[in-house]
Amino acid sequence: MRYPHETLIADAHDRRGVRRRDREWLDARWQAPDSRVLVVSGTRVRPVDGALPWVPTDEAPAGLRLLLGERAGATWWAVIVDPEVAGAEPEQWFPLRGLLPFLGEDDAAAPLVFHALGMAEWHWATRYCPRCAGALASRSAGHELVCEGCGKVQFPRLDPAVIMLISAGEPGSADERCLLGRHPAWPEGRFSTLAGFCEPGESLEDAVRREVAEETAVAVGEVSYFGNQPWPLPSSLMLGFHGRAVSEGIDLVDDELADARWFTREAMRAEAEAGTLKLPGGVSISRSLIESWYGGPLPGSW
Protein backbone atom coordinates (compact mmCIF):
# COMPACT_ATOMS: atom_id res chain seq x y z
CA MET A 1 0.00 0.00 0.00
CA ARG A 2 1.26 3.43 -0.91
CA TYR A 3 0.45 5.87 1.88
CA PRO A 4 -0.80 9.41 1.19
CA HIS A 5 2.27 11.27 2.47
CA GLU A 6 4.54 9.33 0.11
CA THR A 7 3.10 11.10 -2.92
CA LEU A 8 5.08 14.25 -2.11
CA ILE A 9 8.41 12.45 -1.69
CA ALA A 10 8.16 9.57 -4.15
CA ASP A 11 10.18 11.10 -7.00
CA ALA A 12 13.15 12.63 -5.21
CA HIS A 13 15.62 14.54 -7.35
CA ASP A 14 19.38 14.05 -7.41
CA ARG A 15 20.60 17.02 -5.38
CA ARG A 16 24.05 16.93 -6.99
CA GLY A 17 25.70 17.99 -3.74
CA VAL A 18 29.18 17.26 -5.07
CA ARG A 19 28.67 19.89 -7.79
CA ARG A 20 27.67 22.78 -5.53
CA ARG A 21 31.16 24.31 -5.59
CA ASP A 22 31.97 23.40 -9.19
CA ARG A 23 31.64 26.85 -10.75
CA GLU A 24 32.29 25.64 -14.32
CA TRP A 25 29.61 22.95 -14.05
CA LEU A 26 27.14 25.33 -12.39
CA ASP A 27 27.60 27.96 -15.09
CA ALA A 28 27.19 25.38 -17.84
CA ARG A 29 24.00 23.97 -16.35
CA TRP A 30 22.58 27.45 -15.74
CA GLN A 31 23.01 28.20 -19.43
CA ALA A 32 21.51 24.89 -20.56
CA PRO A 33 18.23 25.43 -22.46
CA ASP A 34 16.39 22.73 -20.50
CA SER A 35 17.26 24.13 -17.06
CA ARG A 36 14.29 25.51 -15.12
CA VAL A 37 13.90 27.99 -12.25
CA LEU A 38 11.32 28.58 -9.52
CA VAL A 39 11.28 32.27 -8.54
CA VAL A 40 10.84 32.78 -4.79
CA SER A 41 10.05 36.21 -3.38
CA GLY A 42 11.44 35.98 0.15
CA THR A 43 9.63 32.76 1.05
CA ARG A 44 6.69 33.00 -1.34
CA VAL A 45 5.87 31.82 -4.85
CA ARG A 46 3.28 33.12 -7.31
CA PRO A 47 1.23 30.40 -9.05
CA VAL A 48 0.23 31.07 -12.65
CA ASP A 49 -2.90 29.53 -14.18
CA GLY A 50 -3.27 27.13 -11.26
CA ALA A 51 0.29 25.79 -11.44
CA LEU A 52 3.74 26.66 -10.17
CA PRO A 53 5.78 28.38 -12.89
CA TRP A 54 9.19 26.88 -13.69
CA VAL A 55 10.79 29.35 -16.09
CA PRO A 56 13.89 29.08 -18.32
CA THR A 57 16.99 30.54 -16.71
CA ASP A 58 17.11 33.42 -19.20
CA GLU A 59 13.71 34.54 -17.90
CA ALA A 60 14.70 34.40 -14.22
CA PRO A 61 15.38 37.67 -12.38
CA ALA A 62 18.66 38.41 -10.64
CA GLY A 63 18.85 37.00 -7.14
CA LEU A 64 20.37 34.29 -4.98
CA ARG A 65 20.70 31.11 -7.03
CA LEU A 66 19.99 27.80 -5.31
CA LEU A 67 20.92 24.59 -7.08
CA LEU A 68 18.13 22.11 -6.39
CA GLY A 69 19.52 19.30 -8.52
CA GLU A 70 18.69 17.12 -11.50
CA ARG A 71 15.57 15.21 -12.45
CA ALA A 72 14.38 13.79 -15.77
CA GLY A 73 17.59 14.87 -17.46
CA ALA A 74 17.20 18.58 -16.58
CA THR A 75 18.74 20.82 -13.94
CA TRP A 76 16.40 22.60 -11.52
CA TRP A 77 17.04 25.81 -9.62
CA ALA A 78 15.41 28.35 -7.38
CA VAL A 79 16.17 32.06 -7.37
CA ILE A 80 15.41 34.00 -4.20
CA VAL A 81 14.60 37.66 -4.80
CA ASP A 82 13.73 40.46 -2.42
CA PRO A 83 10.33 40.13 -0.68
CA GLU A 84 9.38 43.50 -2.14
CA VAL A 85 8.92 41.77 -5.48
CA ALA A 86 5.66 40.42 -4.06
CA GLY A 87 4.84 43.70 -2.36
CA ALA A 88 2.60 45.10 -5.09
CA GLU A 89 0.48 41.95 -5.35
CA PRO A 90 0.92 40.14 -2.01
CA GLU A 91 -2.35 38.24 -2.31
CA GLN A 92 -1.02 36.44 -5.41
CA TRP A 93 2.12 35.11 -3.71
CA PHE A 94 1.80 32.14 -1.37
CA PRO A 95 4.01 30.55 1.30
CA LEU A 96 4.55 26.81 1.15
CA ARG A 97 1.39 25.87 3.04
CA GLY A 98 -0.66 27.92 0.60
CA LEU A 99 1.04 26.20 -2.33
CA LEU A 100 0.01 22.68 -1.32
CA PRO A 101 -3.28 22.87 -3.27
CA PHE A 102 -1.23 23.55 -6.41
CA LEU A 103 0.77 20.36 -5.92
CA GLY A 104 -1.16 17.40 -7.22
CA GLU A 105 -0.94 14.10 -5.36
CA ASP A 106 1.29 12.73 -8.14
CA ASP A 107 3.18 15.97 -8.81
CA ALA A 108 6.79 14.92 -9.45
CA ALA A 109 7.97 18.49 -8.81
CA ALA A 110 6.79 18.47 -5.18
CA PRO A 111 10.18 17.41 -3.71
CA LEU A 112 11.81 20.24 -5.66
CA VAL A 113 9.32 22.75 -4.25
CA PHE A 114 9.84 21.48 -0.70
CA HIS A 115 13.61 21.79 -1.21
CA ALA A 116 13.35 25.31 -2.65
CA LEU A 117 11.00 26.71 -0.01
CA GLY A 118 12.80 25.00 2.85
CA MET A 119 16.03 26.63 1.75
CA ALA A 120 14.32 29.98 1.26
CA GLU A 121 12.97 29.82 4.82
CA TRP A 122 16.47 29.06 6.13
CA HIS A 123 17.97 32.03 4.27
CA TRP A 124 15.15 34.24 5.52
CA ALA A 125 15.71 33.23 9.18
CA THR A 126 19.52 33.16 9.11
CA ARG A 127 20.62 36.76 8.74
CA TYR A 128 23.67 37.05 11.03
CA CYS A 129 26.41 34.87 12.42
CA PRO A 130 25.30 33.38 15.77
CA ARG A 131 28.88 33.55 17.07
CA CYS A 132 29.84 37.17 16.34
CA ALA A 133 26.75 38.70 14.63
CA GLY A 134 28.81 39.28 11.49
CA ALA A 135 27.47 39.40 7.95
CA LEU A 136 26.91 36.11 6.13
CA ALA A 137 27.85 35.28 2.55
CA SER A 138 26.24 32.50 0.54
CA ARG A 139 28.31 29.73 -1.04
CA SER A 140 27.99 26.12 -2.18
CA ALA A 141 25.12 27.03 -4.55
CA GLY A 142 23.13 28.53 -1.66
CA HIS A 143 23.56 25.59 0.75
CA GLU A 144 26.09 27.20 3.10
CA LEU A 145 26.43 30.60 4.75
CA VAL A 146 29.89 31.68 5.91
CA CYS A 147 30.56 34.55 8.30
CA GLU A 148 32.62 37.30 6.72
CA GLY A 149 34.00 38.16 10.15
CA CYS A 150 34.96 35.00 12.07
CA GLY A 151 34.58 32.47 9.25
CA LYS A 152 32.03 30.23 11.01
CA VAL A 153 30.00 28.22 8.51
CA GLN A 154 26.23 27.78 8.84
CA PHE A 155 24.37 24.86 7.31
CA PRO A 156 20.60 24.47 6.81
CA ARG A 157 18.89 23.45 10.04
CA LEU A 158 16.03 21.01 10.54
CA ASP A 159 13.84 20.60 13.60
CA PRO A 160 13.07 16.90 14.24
CA ALA A 161 9.45 16.44 15.26
CA VAL A 162 7.76 13.20 16.28
CA ILE A 163 4.21 12.48 15.15
CA MET A 164 2.47 9.41 16.51
CA LEU A 165 -0.58 7.19 16.30
CA ILE A 166 -1.17 5.73 19.76
CA SER A 167 -3.39 2.67 20.03
CA ALA A 168 -4.87 0.55 22.83
CA GLY A 169 -6.79 -2.70 23.05
CA GLU A 170 -6.22 -6.01 21.31
CA PRO A 171 -4.45 -5.31 18.00
CA GLY A 172 -6.77 -5.84 15.06
CA SER A 173 -9.84 -6.39 17.21
CA ALA A 174 -13.12 -4.50 16.90
CA ASP A 175 -12.37 -2.96 20.29
CA GLU A 176 -8.94 -1.63 19.36
CA ARG A 177 -8.87 2.15 19.46
CA CYS A 178 -6.53 5.01 18.62
CA LEU A 179 -5.91 8.34 20.29
CA LEU A 180 -6.50 11.59 18.41
CA GLY A 181 -6.45 15.18 19.64
CA ARG A 182 -7.91 18.55 18.69
CA HIS A 183 -5.88 21.75 18.82
CA PRO A 184 -7.58 24.71 20.56
CA ALA A 185 -7.56 26.74 17.34
CA TRP A 186 -9.33 24.04 15.32
CA PRO A 187 -13.09 23.88 14.78
CA GLU A 188 -15.22 21.20 16.39
CA GLY A 189 -14.76 17.80 14.82
CA ARG A 190 -11.23 18.33 13.51
CA PHE A 191 -8.85 15.77 15.01
CA SER A 192 -5.34 14.59 14.25
CA THR A 193 -2.51 12.49 15.60
CA LEU A 194 -0.41 13.94 18.42
CA ALA A 195 2.96 15.50 17.65
CA GLY A 196 5.80 17.45 19.22
CA PHE A 197 9.45 18.41 18.90
CA CYS A 198 12.34 16.29 20.06
CA GLU A 199 14.41 17.87 22.85
CA PRO A 200 18.23 17.87 23.17
CA GLY A 201 19.62 14.61 24.51
CA GLU A 202 16.34 12.77 23.94
CA SER A 203 15.71 9.70 21.81
CA LEU A 204 12.86 9.82 19.32
CA GLU A 205 11.01 7.04 21.16
CA ASP A 206 11.25 8.92 24.45
CA ALA A 207 10.05 12.07 22.71
CA VAL A 208 6.93 10.15 21.65
CA ARG A 209 6.29 9.01 25.22
CA ARG A 210 6.94 12.43 26.72
CA GLU A 211 4.78 14.38 24.29
CA VAL A 212 1.81 12.02 24.68
CA ALA A 213 2.12 12.13 28.47
CA GLU A 214 2.43 15.93 28.52
CA GLU A 215 -0.60 16.46 26.30
CA THR A 216 -2.98 13.73 27.47
CA ALA A 217 -1.43 11.97 30.53
CA VAL A 218 -1.63 8.68 28.58
CA ALA A 219 1.41 6.48 29.24
CA VAL A 220 3.03 4.85 26.20
CA GLY A 221 5.13 1.70 26.20
CA GLU A 222 6.23 0.11 22.94
CA VAL A 223 7.10 2.57 20.15
CA SER A 224 7.83 1.53 16.54
CA TYR A 225 9.01 3.60 13.58
CA PHE A 226 6.58 4.15 10.69
CA GLY A 227 8.16 6.62 8.26
CA ASN A 228 9.08 10.25 7.77
CA GLN A 229 8.07 13.29 5.78
CA PRO A 230 10.02 16.48 5.10
CA TRP A 231 7.77 19.30 6.24
CA PRO A 232 9.52 22.64 5.70
CA LEU A 233 6.77 24.70 7.35
CA PRO A 234 9.17 26.25 8.02
CA SER A 235 11.87 23.69 8.90
CA SER A 236 10.53 20.44 10.34
CA LEU A 237 11.27 16.80 9.57
CA MET A 238 8.26 14.78 10.69
CA LEU A 239 9.21 11.35 12.06
CA GLY A 240 6.19 9.06 12.29
CA PHE A 241 5.67 6.37 14.91
CA HIS A 242 3.10 3.91 16.15
CA GLY A 243 2.89 3.55 19.92
CA ARG A 244 1.04 1.24 22.31
CA ALA A 245 -0.66 2.77 25.34
CA VAL A 246 -0.19 1.23 28.78
CA SER A 247 -2.82 3.51 30.31
CA GLU A 248 -5.93 5.07 28.78
CA GLY A 249 -7.14 7.75 31.15
CA ILE A 250 -7.06 11.15 29.46
CA ASP A 251 -6.21 14.31 31.37
CA LEU A 252 -5.51 17.44 29.34
CA VAL A 253 -2.75 18.60 31.63
CA ASP A 254 -1.64 21.64 29.63
CA ASP A 255 -3.07 23.97 27.01
CA GLU A 256 -1.79 22.02 23.99
CA LEU A 257 -5.13 20.33 23.26
CA ALA A 258 -8.77 21.36 23.54
CA ASP A 259 -9.93 17.73 23.34
CA ALA A 260 -8.59 14.20 23.00
CA ARG A 261 -10.54 11.00 22.35
CA TRP A 262 -10.15 7.29 21.72
CA PHE A 263 -11.71 6.13 18.42
CA THR A 264 -12.53 2.57 17.40
CA ARG A 265 -12.36 1.82 13.68
CA GLU A 266 -16.15 1.62 13.46
CA ALA A 267 -16.62 4.96 15.19
CA MET A 268 -13.92 6.58 13.08
CA ARG A 269 -15.47 5.39 9.82
CA ALA A 270 -19.02 6.34 10.84
CA GLU A 271 -18.07 9.83 12.01
CA ALA A 272 -15.86 10.46 8.99
CA GLU A 273 -18.69 9.45 6.67
CA ALA A 274 -21.12 11.68 8.57
CA GLY A 275 -18.69 14.61 8.44
CA THR A 276 -18.62 15.01 12.21
CA LEU A 277 -14.99 13.82 12.27
CA LYS A 278 -12.58 15.71 10.04
CA LEU A 279 -9.21 14.06 9.59
CA PRO A 280 -5.93 15.52 8.24
CA GLY A 281 -5.43 16.09 4.54
CA GLY A 282 -4.26 13.35 2.23
CA VAL A 283 -0.69 14.56 1.75
CA SER A 284 0.21 14.57 5.45
CA ILE A 285 1.99 11.79 7.31
CA SER A 286 -0.69 12.17 9.97
CA ARG A 287 -3.25 10.90 7.46
CA SER A 288 -0.93 8.02 6.56
CA LEU A 289 -0.53 7.02 10.21
CA ILE A 290 -4.29 7.01 10.72
CA GLU A 291 -5.05 5.04 7.56
CA SER A 292 -2.26 2.54 8.24
CA TRP A 293 -3.87 1.80 11.62
CA TYR A 294 -7.41 1.83 10.20
CA GLY A 295 -6.42 -0.52 7.39
CA GLY A 296 -7.35 1.49 4.32
CA PRO A 297 -8.59 4.84 2.97
CA LEU A 298 -11.06 6.92 4.94
CA PRO A 299 -13.59 9.47 3.63
CA GLY A 300 -13.25 13.20 4.07
CA SER A 301 -10.39 15.47 5.10
CA TRP A 302 -9.68 19.03 6.18
Taken in order of first residue, the domains within the chain and their CATH numbers are 4-125 (no CATH), 127-156 (no CATH), 159-294 (3.90.79.10)
Predicted TM-score (pTM) of the model is 0.87
159, pLDDT greater than 70: yes
Contact 180, 225 (CB under 8 A): no
- In this predicted structure, which of 13-22, 81-90, 226-235 has the lowest mean pLDDT? 81-90
* Range among 41-50, 204-213, 223-232, 283-292 with highest mean pLDDT value: 204-213
For residues 141-168, average pLDDT: 97
The mean of the pLDDT values for the chain is 92
